[in-house]
Every structure is written in C-alpha cells, then in structure tokens.
Amino acid sequence: MKYLLIVIIAFSSFQMFAQDRITGENFVTRSEVIAKNGMVATSHPLATQVGIDILKQGGSAIDAAIAANAALGLMEPTGSGIGGDLFAIVWDAKTQKLHGLNASGRSPENLTLKYFRDNNYKKIPSLGPLPVSVPGCVDGWFELHSKFGKLPMNKILAPAINYANEGFPVTELIGYYLQRSVPYLGSKFPNVLETYTINGKVPSKGTIFKNPYLATTYSKIAKEGRDAFYKGAIARTIVNFIKEQGGFLSYNDLATHKSEWVQPVSVNYRGFDVWELPPNGQGIAALQMLNIIEQYDFTNIEFGSAEHIHIVTEAKKLAFEDRAKYYADMDFAKVPVQELLDKAYAKNRKKLITEKAGKYNAGEISAGETIYLTVADKDGNMVSFIQSNYRGMGSGMVPPKLGFMLQDRGELFTLEEGKFNTYAPKKRPFHTIIPAFITKNGKPYVSFGVMGGDFQPQGHVQIVMNLVDFGMNLQEAGDAPRIEHAGSSSPTGEVAANKGEIKLESGISFNEIRKLISRGHKVGYGGSFGGYQAIMFDAENEVYLGASESRKDGQAGGY
C-alpha cells in the first residue's frame, strides 16, 4: 500500500501539459520541419546549421553529417567526440542500397584477461586508462567520406574549427551536464580542467566557450588526413599519455586500426523493413522485439495502455536475455544473427509471455551519453549516424593539448571466461550505440535514432510502433511518452535478479499504471529516455520531414 501511494504521488501531475496545440497530439512540442532540398537533425541547433551550410555548398549528406559531428564533438563533449566510436547506415541514392559502417575500436593488444585476473578485477573500471579502446570516429569519417563524400575535408571541418577558435554559447542541457561531469573528472584526472573550463570555471548556459586545442587537432586532421590521428603526433601523444596513466593502448593499436563495412540486417514489421547493424552493437535487439510484438494485433490496443506497455516490456525482457548471452564482436564469436531474427524463433519466444510480468532466460540456439544525427541531401542520399564516448564524457583520459577525451567502451566487456563478450586483446566490446533505418517497398522511408545506453533498442521499437501501430507523425513519434524497462541481464555479466522495473515518462494515466502493478510489474518514475532525431522522405510530395528531440537542445532544419 505504501508503494502504491508513492506511485500515485509521483504520477499525479503527469496528465498536465504545458499548452494545447491546434493540430496533433497534446504531447507534441512542435510541428515537423518540411523542406525539399535537404534536411539535418542533430542535438544542437548550431550543429544543425553547420550541416545545412555544408549541404548548401554542394556537400553530400555524408559531408554534412561529418561536419555536424565535428561540431558536436566541440559543442556537446558530454556525449560525443573524436575520442569515441561511430556507426552509420547510409542510403545511397545512386545504387538504391543501404550500406553499414562499423567504426568501433578494439581493445589494446597488450592488455590481457590474465592482467585483470592477476590484479583481482571483478569488472573493468568505468574510468581511467583501462577501459580505453581505440577511438574509431576519425577513421569512420574518412571511410564514409571516401565512399560518399563530395567536398574536401578541409571545407567539411572548417566550421567546427572556426567555432573552436572563436567560441560558441553553451546550451542549457550541455551546461547542466558539464557542471555535473567536469568537476568530478577534473578532481581525478589531469588535463580535464585545462580543456573544459574557462579560468578554472566550468562553462554554464550562455557562456562563450572555446577549445583551441581541439581546433588545432581538427586542423591537422583536415590537412593531413586520418593518418594524422592514427600514425602522427596525435597518436603518439595519446599513447604516451595512456602509458603514463598506467594503461596499455599502444601506437600499434592506433596504427593498425580500421573500420569495417557491414551489411545491415532487417526484419519486416507490418509491411515496413526496419534495418539495424549486426553485433558488436545491440541493434538486433530492437528487431527481435519487433518480431515478438508483431504477433499481437494492435488495432484495438491503445497507446499508453497497460496492455501496450506489458507487451513491449515482456518482448524487451526476452530479447535482452539473448543480448546478454549472444551479442559480441563477430570476429571472435559466432553470433547467430539469422537464427535470432527468425520469425519462427520469435513465435516460440512469444509463447513464454503471459498476462503477468515474467522472468526469462536466453533462448537456446546452437552456435559456435551519445549523440545521434541524421542528414538527407537533394540527391536522395540519407545517413543515420550515431557517435559516442560512453558514460557521457568518457574515461576521464584527456591527452594533453589535444582538446578531447577518450572513450571508456572497454568497460562493456565481461571478465567472466568463456562468454561471447569475454575480454580479449584486439577485440571490439559490446556496443550500445545503434543507428536505424526504415524502408518501404525497397525505398527510403525514415532515418532515425534514439540515444540512451540500454534504452536505445527500446526507443527504436517505440518509434516504429508509434509510426506504424499508432499512426503518429514523425515529431509526435519522438515526443510521445516513453517506456523503459531496467533490470535485464547484461553482456557485462550481470544476471537479472528479478523481473526488473518499468520506468515511465509523463503522460501515462494512473489507471493504466495500476493495471500494470496488478500484473506483477514494479513501476517507477524517471529513466534514461535518450534523444531522438529523425528524417522521413515523403515520396508522394518529394519532400523531407524532420523531427528533433524535445528532451534535448536539438533542432531539425532544412532548406
């Protein structure tokens, strides 16, 4: 009874919205942006404008995406930067095909599982030099550019270089995250305060912030290419610093790094093909969920109802147990992707779902903070692009006078021997960041992503359902109240202890929450609900529609 009272109080004001709209759902924050020649949607208005400017100069969607990502690495260091990794799905208008790029880095060749065991580590630390893997972002830029770029890299990086030298005003949400992250990391590790403060003060909303170190780094990359980062002075500065800090990342780790072009994988959901990248990312979890959910008739199930939330939650639990067991670097583990995405497998998994909240194991199969942006151009090319350092700003490792922090993706390995995702040298860790794409009858429909760690596959599923099952427009699909289930087993070795907890945003009625509780669900308030950006191609009118995340500082813009 006490718990029920807490939930009632927590959700008592959830049905109130700031203002009614003349059109669309009450929860929608704005109309979709509509334009004919190009569209850019990012989590920062200035980065969106950078992308639009590149498109207007004749750049491709990929050129604009790289330019916007470089700007975000400067303007939103709390979630991105060239110390991190990158994944992308590209619709190439010329060949009418999707291309996938896995630009994630590998673990150090000289760091072994034995080292962790000999030093009594139960898990890889979140911060410091040990979770640092090779940053794949810059190589990803140049792989994308060599295949789909039009403008020279010096033009593409010029806007970010100018902003880094001249300064830009910090936005509200980024200021909030900087205030939370920089003092803590700066108290533990060198170069953080020098790079991310102004005369020792953390920048806040409206503060003009400059990063001349990053401007110099970008300028070297623009002039000398990707080898400036992986084989030149930048690489040596990185590895010398990590060695000083007690880490293992070597010059050879950087010099031998390469991205991988991969074939995106898909399932058909009620006539729409939903595309993700294969592991080491978690994208196929969204596809597994959709295969289960598709077996339910949603024509008479309302959005936000207990039935809707129950089905999505149970499908997530089932998929995430498979995620914990099977998802890993496919160069090291024979991940049964096709079996996991098989409709027959989904039918068998669905049989486990009842009217009550369940706890599940992985299926038995025989087998050996982040930024998201999307861009579309006048030629019909579209790119779904996600890039991150992990855990917000990353590992705390800021190489001197380079202007960026290195990622801590290595934390996502397990140290338990014999698992698909067990740590090994030169191995890519399990990855949370995933771009998504939807096609209809072999033609581009929606390029989208939702940031937020473990929430990302859940967010992808909710966007698809909002568009397909609930008939929402592109902006409504992102603004609609979100659902997160927490507490599943993890690829890092944690095993679900119970049925977990459903966390809800504003807008779900208490009557439905009470029904969920009666089904055996634990229901709570507040979660990690990510950040959504999306572009839809309207083939009938030959225009793009753009939508941006209302939970962040972002903007969709077109021309």
Q: Residues comprising the binding site for L-glutamate?
A: 453
Q: Which residues are annotated as a binding site?
A: 453
CA 316 from chain center: how many Å? 17
Phi, psi of 515 (to 5 degrees): -65, -40
Phi, psi of 532 (to 5 degrees): -105, 135
Q: Determine the 3-state secondary structure of 548 from DSSP.
A: strand
**Do strands 532-538 and 543-548 pair parallel, antiparallel, or not at all (unpaired)?**
antiparallel
**Do strands 382-388 and 85-92 pair parallel, antiparallel, or not at all (unpaired)?**
antiparallel
Q: Residues 213, 152: contact at Cβ < 8 Å?
A: no
Alpha helices, DSSP H only, in 411-470? Answer: 455-468
- CA dihedral sign of residues 128, 129, 133, 135: positive
Q: Which of 78, 171, 313, 370 is catalytic?
A: 370
Radius of gyration in angstroms for the set of CA atoms belonging to the chain, rounded to a whole number: 22
- CA dihedral sign of residues 51, 54, 60, 62: negative
Q: How far apart are CA 482 and CA 269, in angstroms?
A: 20
Alpha helices, DSSP H only, in 76-167? Answer: 113-118, 137-148, 153-166
| Torsion-angle region of 200 (φ positive above 0: left; ψ -120 to 50: alpha; else: beta) | left
Q: How far apart are CA 92 and CA 13, in angstroms?
A: 46
354 labelled catalytic: no
- CA dihedral sign of residues 290, 293, 296, 302: negative
Identify the DSSP state of 170: P
Q: What are the beta bridge partners of residue 86? A: 103, 387
| Torsion-angle region of 315 (φ positive above 0: left; ψ -120 to 50: alpha; else: beta) | alpha
Tell me which amino acid residue 166 is: E
Q: What are the beta bridge partners of residue 88? A: 101, 385
Q: How far apart are CA 272 and CA 445, in angstroms?
A: 9
Q: Residues 328, 413: contact at Cβ < 8 Å?
A: no
Q: Determine the 3-state secondary structure of 387 from DSSP.
A: strand
Q: How far apart are CA 240 and CA 200, in angstroms?
A: 25
**Do strands 522-525 and 501-504 pair parallel, antiparallel, or not at all (unpaired)?**
parallel
Which residues are catalytic, by number?
Answer: 370
